[in-house]
Structure 1
């Protein structure tokens, strides 16, 4: 598990840094887009609003075109994206001309170009969010889907780790029926770290999430997405799964296997595909469409019928 978690800790590409800049999802009529005397002024305003997380200012700066991009559904990932954008800008930035009336802001030591250009018009200079918006969404979706697959595989490793620990302690193994343990217990895959005691199977992943700005697992009052995806344990499998239909829980202990479902918090914004995985460690994907949230909520068992496509996972 450790190797997988370490790979997951690698930072997303610079393209992810500006996701929040175009995901405000508000009506353009609420706030007229601002124009600026120069491209430098426009860029400075964007960075200032990003640095202070001033959402109203970002809406005004980006204007029409940003309304087509709904909120990503993951506020913690969005806030982290703003921080990375500002850090990249502080490291290095430049405005590159693409003609007399078009400028592109490049940020970071690798001169990453912001897909949304600054264009000149009668009122001055402003960002053209109609251009480049879908590119940013596509990058976010790809990044989040890869993260969801990695988390799913980390879950498999964590369950096997938990089973082995239970077997060593009690002589008989069982899988965890919870992701986060009940307070004061070790009945889930994660529990708060205590000096002198072995960390929980998911401690590395939770520690990484905290570094990214997510709340501690035991502090969450309700389920929040991680990297744009929700995750839920499944307690049985259907007839189309290997070995056929069966319940994983027998005599109040989950010994017959385990499974997980992962689905996007906001379909077509934070992700497209829904993923399932069981104890075999094979991830399947399916596009549930615009009704993803409702359909995913009704999936109660792992059932890899032909409508689910098996995906090949490479070491990334």
Structure 2
């Protein structure tokens, strides 16, 4: 059994919580599209959050927490930027721990953390199920970026450095870090769980390999594009600069694999958008190159 945990932002920090609900529904649609149903879903959210969701036949548990909203920090320098990210990691990390506490009671074999605005490839659960005897974890380093309503998708590699929907862990890997965990409230979680687990593993998504190495666990990079990051959706906590990625036209295979509720546009419309993207990306790349060269020349003149 795979336990899928998704953590939803505090309503007070959302621009439009109705939009949050809509994006979460799309994530659930991609879970419903899985060819292998050997999974369950845990949705971690703040008390008072109101949803209107269709979870189909997916076994779903709502995990309610009473955590304060993420602190609002205005970024003015490098330190305030770090403070902002730490505030985000604290909120996400403690919510993931609350979801993990609920999931582990069902004794799952694997745990996956999914952002509530991303999609999964329809064959992902089946792939994990078929390879669970060989690995203690999986990392998604191939995936897509997609703007809803667009006719192109962006190939993101390494995907695990851009999107939080990327890590799958054998449940036993968490046990040593949770022996003293107290889940009464956010502060007791912070006090009783190692910061490495809260901030680096669960609050972030870029350090899964560090946990695997610590625990001498064998992991694999999923050999296909297994997740899709919905960009520019209005509720992203972080964004990617899609002009740095290779683009391709949206097709029926991608739409089916990720349960996108759309249809490919006419051939000429799709390729017009693709060519427009490539033109903008080339301009951006040339501007960046020019800026780098200018900075290098300035440095040489100063010395």
Q: Same fold (TM over 0.5)?
A: no
Name whichever structure is richer in helix by fraction.
Answer: 2
Structure ranking higher on relative contact order (CA contacts 8 Å, 6+ apart): 2
TM-score by length of 2: 0.23
Larger radius of gyration: 1
